[in-house]
Amino acid sequence: MIKTDVAVSIPEGYVGLLTSRSGVSSKTYLVIETGKIDAGYHGNLGINIKNDEERDGIPFLYDDIDAELEDGLISILDIKGNYVQDGRGIRRVYQINKGDKLAQLVIVPIWTPELKQVEEFESVSERGAKGFGSSGSVKTS
């Protein structure tokens, strides 16, 4: 979590979505996980960020960055994907500097419905109670 030293005042009826900038996500392995800022929250905004680089399907865990730097296993890049230090290392870590533009805040209206408990639904959908991934397949002929 990276603190931004930025606070906002989102009006009632709106929500702020702190999300990635296309330049960061297209040029690096950095992933900004979308954060939701509710109306009424006035604290320091934090950016939830992770390095999603993998090799052979296995995520890299950086246990001892100093030792790996010394051994030449790590390359350091900036948030635009440019090498800060020589690019011979097989692993990439990112140097994030104060003022780097990592995320953007999108403020959108939000509708909060009044919920009503029912014994059964008035109509039946094709999807029914099927969960994640059940509606994402594309039928081809």
Report whether 102 contacts 83 (CB < 8 A): no
> 46 is written with which tokens?
């934090």
Among residues of the chain, what percentage have pLDDT more than 70? 70
The b/e string for 95-130 (b: 16+ C-beta within 10 A; e otherwise) is eeeeeeebbeeeeeeeeeeeeeeeeeeeeeeeeeee
Q: Does 118 map to a domain?
A: no
Q: Please enumerate in sequence order all residues whose Cβ is within 8 A of that of 120, keeping only pairs 6 or more positions apart, or say none.
A: none
Per-residue pLDDT, 124: 81
Report whether 102 contacts 79 (CB < 8 A): yes
Q: Does 77 map to a domain?
A: yes
Number of domains in the chain: 1
In which band, very low, low, confident or very high, does the pLDDT at 104 lie, cut at 50, 70 and 90?
very high
pTM: 0.63
Q: What is the pLDDT of residues 11-30, one digit of tens each?
A: 999 999 999 888 887 888 88
Q: What are the beta bridge partners of residue 77?
A: 83, 94
Q: Does 25 map to a domain?
A: yes
Q: Does 103 map to a domain?
A: yes
Q: Does 126 map to a domain?
A: no
For the domain that residue 22 is a member of, what is the CATH number? 2.70.40.10
Instruction: Tell me which residue range forms the domain holding 80.
Output: 2-109
Q: Does 139 map to a domain?
A: no
Q: What is the pLDDT of residues 56-78, one digit of tens each?
A: 555 555 554 555 555 555 666 77
Q: Does 32 map to a domain?
A: yes
Mean pLDDT lowest among 38-47, 55-64, 98-107, 109-118: 55-64
Q: Does 97 map to a domain?
A: yes
Residue 31: closest CA among 58, 50, 53: 50
